[in-house]
Amino acid sequence: MRASLILVAIVIFAIAAAPGTGGFHVRAQPAGSPVQSICSSAEGQTQSGEQSTMESPLGTGAPAGLALTVLADQATEQWPTFADSLVLTVRRLHLIPAAVTEIRRTQGPLLFYVESGSVGLSVNGRMETHSPGVAALVETGQHYLLRNDSTESATILRLALVPPDEETTVGRGEIAQVIDGGNEIAASPGAIESRLLLRADVPAMSGQAHLFLACLSWIDPAADFGSTSHPGPVGYLVLDGQLLVGDAGVLNAGDCTLFPAESPRRLRAGDPPPTLLMFGAVPDAHPLWIPVDAGSNSSTAGEPSEFECGDLMAPDEPPVAAELTPLHPEVRVRL
């Protein structure tokens, strides 16, 4: 009798744990799944061969067989002074309803792209609400905060170029913003999640340049356009499929790479053809794609910069809770 009861319990537990039954089953998602949705909205356009979803010169001169969908393209010439090098990071930020960051001062240009939901961005005290597909730039030295006043969660991408050890870690906060009612509100644990997708060391920049985020895919999987280079640091994150780099490099979903300016590289589609998140900074008046002479040795030239791919599944910066604080005569601003 006891053995029968144990057998029944095992069967019930197995049924509860089966996928789709609503029981206690927990299944880990593939490593690339948190960011696959970034380019899903542009799939229809890339399949038809459109070069971009916004007016941007970056698609000009793209090799035949590729489809480039520009998500965000903003120009800046405000760079950190006295910086010998910069750190380029790409992060994906998730804001639950009513989430808000503290006021921060940028140490370098930040490019935001709203992937889903509605996000309020305050720059130097001026608040604007941005819907999905909208990009915004925060210049070096400006004060800003992010908030989600809607009843739905919001997700944004952030490209940053800042001096070493000066990255703004959105989601770790204390004082957030002064609101009517005489209180300062602060993010509670889990309200804002920041996930690192890529971090790379790049040389300092000067003059006007375009910061951009884009989706890249292959219209013709057999296309081989040889070696090309970019005029500024440009990185790739494989969202799905397989990317072939050079003669022997293979990048799968969740892998990333970054090439320095004017570094030749040969990119081809693997099996299956890849969808890539493409990002970087390109000096003004320079084309994104630069053909490289056939005599160049692309298998040895163009070694990637020092970079690391982030953990796409686990937050690398758990938010820190802060208590509600009475309003002070002056607004505290964290620098």
Q: Delimit the domains of the chain by residue range.
A: 33-74+206-309, 87-204+313-326
- According to the model, what pLDDT value does residue 192 have? 85
Question: Pick the residue with more confidence: 163 or 37?
Answer: 163
Sheet with 119-123, edge to edge strand ranges? 104-105, 143-147, 119-123, 126-130
Please tell me the distance from the alpha carbon of residue 16 to that of residue 61, in angstroms, as a whole number: 55
SS3 4: helix
Q: Please give the mean pLDDT across all residues of the chain.
A: 75
Please tell me the distance from the alpha carbon of residue 202 to that of residue 88, in angstroms, as a whole number: 7
Q: Would you say the CATH fold of 87-204+313-326 matches that of 33-74+206-309?
A: yes
- According to the model, what pLDDT value does residue 305 have? 60
Please tell me the distance from the alpha carbon of residue 91 to that of residue 96, in angstroms, as a whole number: 16
pLDDT tens per residue across span 244-278: 999 889 999 999 999 999 999 899 999 999 999 99
33-74+206-309 classified as CATH 1.20.1050.10? no
Annotation: CATH topology of 87-204+313-326: Jelly Rolls (2.60.120)
* C-beta of residue 153 within 8 angstroms of C-beta of residue 96: yes
* Torsions phi, psi for 162 (to 5 deg): -135, 160
Helices and strands counted in the chain (H then E)? 3, 23
Of 193, 177, 210, nearest to 313 (Cα)?
Answer: 193
Please tell me the distance from the alpha carbon of residue 187 to that of residue 175, in angstroms, as a whole number: 8
pLDDT tens per residue across span 175-224: 333 333 333 344 455 688 888 999 999 999 999 999 999 999 999 999 99
pLDDT tens per residue across span 108-144: 999 999 999 999 999 999 999 999 999 999 999 999 9
- According to the model, what pLDDT value does residue 175 have? 34
